[in-house]
Structure 1
């Protein structure tokens, strides 16, 4: 009978350990090189792995579609920027599997989960509550265009600063009061005046009720190069229509912490 020596047994043991440590599922990236909590979680959860693969397929299809359209270079840039925003502000700010699943499902258009997901906000743990970077003043400088009926052209009229402030609520760490002033095309202005927002895992939620339905604006804070930024997501663009009219446009705005 052939005997295994110590070196052989050690090699077999190391191989077995490495096989056990390998991710169980595939994804749109190499799970063998997963390093972040997000990547490791996606690789270890079969549902998330499939969602990630579907996300990659949709993104590639959107890039291909952009290449086939007029002004394809501009559409391609817009598609890439939207993907980077989703990864940075929405997916990569999650700290739970449930949050990741929600963000992937919404990306794929399978589900729109309006409103706050917490059943009992009073019982949230410290890790589930917003940290200090989710509060403060955020602003961005934009160029304002006005339509000149005499020349029948859009003309730049100068720069303005759009800003919002997210204030803490005493003894209610999951709540915030939001104020802001924004100016859009044709100098159309819109204000957020003492609006109540509730934290929902990785973003603030502002709800309004119009014509029997809930309209929702989300504010996603994320840290980039050591500085906090804030992304506005207007679900179906309904919030801007109910609060600011057609000329107001919240979705996709990114502001820097000041």
Structure 2
């Protein structure tokens, strides 16, 4: 006897870390987060209410309805992609939140969104601004077939990537991207080096600045969901008038502190506190 205790299996450790991450994100007890993450019926991750606006048109409605009816095998394939950093998760989110036409223009749009989002993830990983999910965590959560569970695991990463798009950070973004890709190109992991080559080609050959607004919409949409907030494109009511959410405003932690809103018939974008906004869909 050595007096040592066997280490818990990696999936069990990963699950506990995922629960702790959700508890910290929502500001609830560990036990509450565990119930949210896992249903009582035997391990199926509970799905949160989806509020992403699907827009008009029968084809678009059919597309979203079909996605909700995916088989478990198809959902696992999607979540494996969603847990593959940096390029896989970027590709998953771009497919999950396609361009949306609203009265004031198009949201979630712009050429190169996938590459731009993957570059943001590379910057966060390089600068180590937040603890990144481990390979064990990502592998475990990917096999659940629930994208919400992957979102919980990647919440800190997504939030740090979103912070890079705030107005006071964007002006110095591209030198940070170049530094991150250079470091990724020296990684011991072959997949990391391949990702650096792919993203480096995109950075040199494509103007990605126009994609950043669409990437901002995507990250706002995935981040508001745990707080039952309204993503870009959601229809809301303010001061008795209908309008459209164009974006969210964030503090360092917690739910969105406000929203960017354009009222129907107007051109101005208003910054509205979340407490002053009627988020009941209209």
Q: TM-score range by the shorter chain?
A: under 0.3
TM-score normalised according to structure 2 size: 0.24
TM-score normalised according to structure 1 size: 0.26
Higher relative contact order (CA 8 A, sep 6+): 2
Structure having the larger proportion of residues in helix: 2
